[in-house]
């Protein structure tokens, strides 16, 4: 624990500048990244994959047009490749993204490894190389959070995969610690069970990338789940539900209550809108994400 404590202090002390000149820092519990503007406790981001502009520069302009503060850039698909189908390993292309983000005063809040939605993190060969490629890209772009969904390695349905997942995440934690970044995992587990998983992994560099939809789809109280996890274990939040209606009309998600909960927890960081699209007009990207962004900002960024 002493080594982890030193790492935690170094992470806070060695805050760096992100694209657009925004200070990257850690809160008192070393769990979330937030803006240097003290009045802005929460920031709102979109996902380039869900904007139908996976790893395309146009995702940044669309994010700006919609009114979000940042974007999660995806590492690309996996398929049967040895690693992600990513162009961000090329310095010139990385710089294009960084320059465009600076021009638009946007932040690249995280990098996504959504290829694992269709792959078994527990069973696929070569996962350490895949995650390392993402971490190397994060370092090169000054991005401090990587999103890792466990996907088909669903611990609710396949609890027998737990030992392999723990072993592999411990190996990932070593890489993340060395790079001073956080890998945020998304599981299907209830918060109490996810706490046990995180405690078993035992690293500040592996945290929960909490998804409202997981709680809502399973009839769990989102605020109670957040409190169970606690601010020290949550690096970012996917602030949306399964597609159906916009967030403002969703009876399963009380955003005002969620904000009160997060305020009391003293959590701060990124709320990343993933879905909550109108099921009757699901492909209207700008309309869906403009409506959800406007609503999330009205709740979390109102004076």
Q: Return averaged pLDDT per consecutive 10 residues of the chain, 303 residues in all.
A: 40 35 34 46 97 98 98 96 96 98 98 96 95 98 97 90 97 98 97 98 98 96 98 97 97 97 98 97 97 98 81
Report residue 42: phi and psi, to 5°: -120, 140
pLDDT at position 303 is 67
pLDDT at position 161 is 96
pLDDT at position 39 is 53
pLDDT at position 103 is 98
- Taking only the tens place, the pLDDT of each residue in 169-190 is 999 999 999 999 999 999 999 9
The C-alpha angle 260, 261, 267, rounded to 5 degrees, equals: 105
In terms of C-beta density within 10 A (0-12 exposed, 13-18 middle, 19 or more buried), how is residue 91 classed?
exposed
pLDDT at position 15 is 34
Beta strands in the chain (DSSP E): 42-47, 70-74, 107-112, 145-149, 182-186, 206-211, 234-238, 269-273
Domains (range + CATH), the chain: 2-297 (3.20.20.150)
Alpha-carbon distance 198 to 19, whole Å?
30
CB 187 within 8 A of CB 194: yes
Short-list 208, 224, 276, 290, CA closest to 245:
276
pLDDT at position 152 is 85
């Amino acid at each position: 624990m002493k080594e982890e404590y030193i790492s935690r202090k170094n992470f806070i002390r060695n805050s760096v500048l992100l694209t657009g000149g925004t200070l990257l820092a850690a809160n008192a519990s070393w769990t979330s990244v937030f803006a240097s503007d003290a009045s802005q406790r929460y920031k709102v981001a979109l996902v380039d994959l869900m904007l139908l502009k996976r790893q395309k520069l146009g995702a940044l302009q669309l994010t700006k047009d919609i009114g979000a503060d940042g974007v999660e850039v995806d590492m690309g698909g996996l398929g049967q490749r040895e690693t992600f189908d990513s162009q961000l390993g090329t310095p010139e292309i990385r710089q294009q993204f960084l320059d465009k983000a600076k021009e638009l005063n946007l932040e690249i809040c995280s990098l996504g490894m959504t290829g694992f939605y269709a792959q078994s993190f527990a069973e696929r060969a070569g996962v350490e190389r895949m995650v390392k490629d993402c971490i190397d890209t994060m370092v090169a772009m000054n991005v401090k959070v990587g999103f890792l969904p466990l996907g088909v390695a669903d611990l609710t349905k396949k609890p027998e995969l737990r030992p392999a997942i723990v072993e592999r995440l411990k190996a990932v934690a070593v890489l993340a610690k060395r790079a001073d970044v956080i890998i945020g995992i998304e599981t299907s587990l209830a918060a109490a069970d996810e706490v046990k998983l995180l405690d078993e992994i035992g690293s500040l560099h592996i945290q929960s990338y909490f998804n409202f939809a997981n709680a809502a789809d399973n009839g769990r109280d989102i605020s109670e789940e957040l409190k169970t996890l606690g601010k020290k274990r949550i690096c970012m939040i996917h602030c949306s539900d399964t597609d159906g209606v916009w967030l403002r009309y969703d009876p399963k998600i009380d955003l005002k209550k969620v904000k009160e909960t997060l305020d009391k927890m003293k959590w701060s960081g990124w709320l990343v809108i993933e879905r909550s699209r109108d099921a009757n007009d699901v492909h209207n990207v700008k309309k869906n994400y403009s409506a959800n962004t406007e609503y999330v900002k009205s709740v979390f960024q109102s004076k």
